[in-house]
Amino acid sequence: MIDTPAAPAARRTAPRRVEPVNQHRRAEGRAGYVLVAPTAILLTVFYLWPLAQTVVFSFTDWNPGTGLVTTSVGLANFTHVLTDPEFGRAVANTLVYVVTVVPGSMALGLVFAALLATPFRGRALYRTMIFTPYIAPIVGSALIFSFLLTPLGGLVNQFLGLFGVRPIAFLTTEPWAMVSVVIFSTWQLVGYTMIIYSAALTNVPQSYHEAATLDGAGPIRRFFSISLPLVGPTSGFLAITGVIGSLQVFTQVYVLTGGGPLGSTETVLYWIYQQGFVLFDGGSASAGAVLLLVFGIVASIVQLTVISRRDAVELS
Amino acid sequence: MARTSLRRALPHVLRHAVLILASLVFFGPFVWMVLASLKSAQEALSFPPTFLPQEWRFDNYLSLFDAVPFGLYYGNSIFVTVAATVGQVVTSLAAGYAFSRLHFRGRNVLFVVLLAALLVPFEVVFTPLMSLLASLGWLNTYQGLIIPNIPSILGVFLFRQFFEGFPGEIEDASRIDGAGVWRRFRSIMAPMAAPMIGSFTILAFVYNWNNFFFQFLAVNRTEFFTIPIGLSQLQSTHGTSFNLLMAGSTLAILPVFVVFLLFQRQIVTAMSGGLR
């Protein structure tokens, strides 16, 4: 800290005219530390310290139940994680999630953003209704889905029954459980992608559209030739945040399927949770978390380069 | 003549058709939830389904409060959400201002650490974090539900960015008038940040109200259950009483929905501004 006891004495001997400036500087510096301190301290205690522990514990046989670390086990946790078929399946499930939910929610979000780009009667109402799933608590909306998808008397099965389809136990049979999780997650996320794309589309100069209209381009042609290329960087951003978000999926899986049937909807985070809080294998949970972290950092670095490219596009 | 008007009307008709279908898919489930919460358990699953309840069962909500102490969960959720939100707004506003406007040694290093911490999702650190909370005796406490959630890196970024984009002249003028840093912060800069405070408050409120995963790990005693935890518990105890489950979901979703309707513009601004 710059606020040492010697400081006032030094100030007294300094030339008079400089004094107020120094004093201001010092007061500002002190204020800076005080204002940053709450965030910095809380972040260190509840974030950086556990992060350091995660890394250290990933090389030990830490038991979160007892809090005991007895010995270092080298890379054994990592070998366990990487050879555990359940972890492999969790990674595979997460990948399925990434390649379905991320592009699906982006495509739908872009379509809705484009349909809502120009003012017309009812626009605000449509936007509100499409956005609502994103702000609703996931536990609540996942319960609605489990109600809609229930085999006997659920609305979806009743509807399918009109076409002679026999009731499907969507949440407890393969592959329907994963399909349900994917559809729910896409449904939940579209409001977000729509809002982000809307913001990007408002940055597309109206004159481009006017010029294209004069040249005889219809709305669909304008969408593919003007809007779509110009929101490219936004798509990059959404793709990467989508991937990072996919690594953190837990709540809807917990409520809809509980990870089942037979682990077919278990995600990476769900696997880490089970290792740490059900099996009390803190070492493996930490190793899994470290792998998640590495993957997240790689994705974030890609994201940062995408964003800086986006800024470059906006500046040009 | 008729053909050109049809050609002109067709895109609008198509657009409304797509959007009406989308509204049904995205908003319909919430309507169905409210209607089911007012039906009897049998009617909620009846074949063929009824749209409006044949018999309005407002007493479902009373049964819900008998089945689980939903009032208590509500109180817990409101208290935890308000406290964490206030904490996030105050600490982020302060740090954002300091990072943007004040010069102090180590500022850039601290900011880089903050940037780096943004790369680490909470989901990576939860196992040791929960055992830290356990050793502090903070599991099943309000402070355990609130304090670890207070530091918000996103908040610090949003406020720093706000102050960066804010003309410096006003602050300089009052600095020349002899206003100290605290006075400038309290009486000029913080009030000027009101729009950002508004947007971030709402964003933080929605985030904290919906913060299932953290709360799920930090409490297991019903006195400290929040709405999302209470709902998932209700699912395990009353899994087939869909009318009660839908009543619970309605009560869980209602506050965020109302906040969203009131402050839609701020939420959208904060969300689309947060990525620049």
Using alpha carbons only, what angle is made at residue B245 by residues B243 and B246, rounded to the nearest 5 degrees? Answer: 65
Is the separation of the CB atoms in A217 and A223 below 8 Å?
no
Structurally, chain B folds into a number of domains equal to 2
**pLDDT given at position A315:** 38
For A315, the token pair is 């500046």
* A40, A111, A137 ranked by CB distance to B210: nearest: A137
The residue extents of the domains of chain A are 6-57, 76-315
Domain end (from B12, B42, B59): B59
Nearest chain A Cα distance for residue B105, angstroms: 7
Nearest CA in chain B to A302: B119
Using alpha carbons only, what angle is made at residue B253 by residues A191 and B275, rounded to the nearest 5 degrees? Answer: 35
Overall residue count recorded for chain A in this entry: 316
Are B171 and B233 contained in the same domain? Answer: yes
Nearest CA in chain A to B22: A130
Does the domain formed by A76-315 have CATH 1.25.40.10? no
At B6-55, the pLDDT tens digits run 677 777 888 899 999 999 999 999 999 999 999 988 888 887 888 899 88
**pLDDT given at position A311:** 52
Contacts of B182 in chain A (CB under 8 A): 31
Q: Which residue has the tokens 């407002």?
A: B58
* A39, A116, A136 ranked by CB distance to B91: nearest: A39
CB count in 10 Å sphere of residue A85: 8
Are B183 and B267 contained in the same domain? Answer: yes
Contacts of B263 in chain A (CB under 8 A): none
Domain end (from B18, B37, B59): B59
For A298, the token pair is 């790689």
**pLDDT given at position A4:** 38
**pLDDT given at position B165:** 81
HSE-up (13 A, CA, CB side) for residue A185: 32
For A228, the token pair is 């779509």
**pLDDT given at position A37:** 93
CA pair distance B251, B37, nearest whole angstrom: 10
B91 pLDDT higher than 70: yes
**pLDDT given at position B206:** 87
CB count in 10 Å sphere of residue A305: 12
Alpha carbon distances (Å) from A119 to A88, A124, A211, B266: 48, 9, 19, 19
**pLDDT given at position A9:** 42
At B238-262, the pLDDT tens digits run 877 899 999 999 999 998 899 888 8
Are B44 and B128 contained in the same domain? Answer: no
Using CB atoms within 10 A of its CB, is residue A204 exposed (0-12), middle (13-18) or buried (19+)?
middle
Are B37 and B173 contained in the same domain? Answer: no
* A64, A138, A192 ranked by CB distance to B127: nearest: A64
Using alpha carbons only, what angle is made at residue B58 by residues B52 and B59, rounded to the nearest 5 degrees? Answer: 140
Asked whether the beta carbons of residue A136 and residue B253 sit closer than 8 angstroms, the reply is yes
Domain end (from B25, B40, B59): B59
Are B55 and B69 contained in the same domain? Answer: no
Among B209, B214, B246, which Cα is nearest to B231's?
B246
Asked whether the beta carbons of residue B213 and residue A64 sit closer than 8 angstroms, the reply is no
Overall residue count recorded for chain B in this entry: 276
Per-residue pLDDT of chain A (316 residues; tens, 9 = 90+): 333 344 444 444 444 444 556 677 777 888 889 999 999 999 999 999 999 989 988 898 888 877 677 778 888 889 988 999 999 999 999 999 999 999 999 999 999 999 998 888 889 899 999 999 999 999 999 999 999 999 888 999 999 989 988 899 999 998 999 999 999 999 999 999 999 998 888 877 778 888 888 888 887 888 888 888 888 888 888 888 888 888 889 999 999 998 888 889 999 999 999 888 888 888 899 999 999 888 888 877 776 776 666 554 443 3
Are B86 and B106 contained in the same domain? Answer: yes
Nearest chain A Cα distance for residue B262, angstroms: 11
Among A236, A229, A235, which Cα is nearest to A302's?
A236
Asked whether the beta carbons of residue B148 and residue A42 sit closer than 8 angstroms, the reply is yes
Are B23 and B97 contained in the same domain? Answer: no
Nearest chain B Cα distance for residue A175, angstroms: 22
The radius of gyration computed from the CA coordinates of chain A, to the nearest angstrom, equals 27
* Interface-testing mutation among A2, A4, A36, A223, with chain B (most B C-beta atoms within 10 A): A36
Are B152 and B178 contained in the same domain? Answer: yes
CA pair distance B211, A138, nearest whole angstrom: 9
Helix (H) / strand (E) containing A111: helix A85-115
The fraction of chain B above a pLDDT of 70, given in percent, is 97
* Interface-testing mutation among A23, A144, A222, A268, with chain B (most B C-beta atoms within 10 A): A144
Contacts of B46 in chain A (CB under 8 A): 153
For B267, the token pair is 């939420």
Mean pLDDT throughout B129-154? Answer: 92
Q: Measured in whole angstroms, how far is the alpha carbon of residue B196 from the centre of its chain?
A: 16
Contacts of B213 in chain A (CB under 8 A): 250-251
Q: Show the domain range for B12.
A: 2-59
Are B106 and B223 contained in the same domain? Answer: yes
Asked whether the beta carbons of residue A250 and residue B213 sit closer than 8 angstroms, the reply is yes
Contacts of A119 in chain B (CB under 8 A): none
B114 pLDDT higher than 60: yes
For A31, the token pair is 């204020």
Are B140 and B21 contained in the same domain? Answer: no
Angle subtended by helix axes A176-202 and A232-246, to nearest 10: 150
Question: CB within 8 A of B48, min separation 6: which ones?
Answer: A158
Alpha carbon distances (Å) from A191 to A90, A108, A227, B1: 27, 9, 19, 40
CA pair distance B151, A71, nearest whole angstrom: 33
Alpha carbon distances (Å) from A12 to A9, A16, A26, A178, B66: 5, 8, 14, 73, 72
Mean pLDDT throughout B173-196? Answer: 81
Nearest chain B Cα distance for residue A26, angstroms: 8
Are B247 and B190 contained in the same domain? Answer: yes
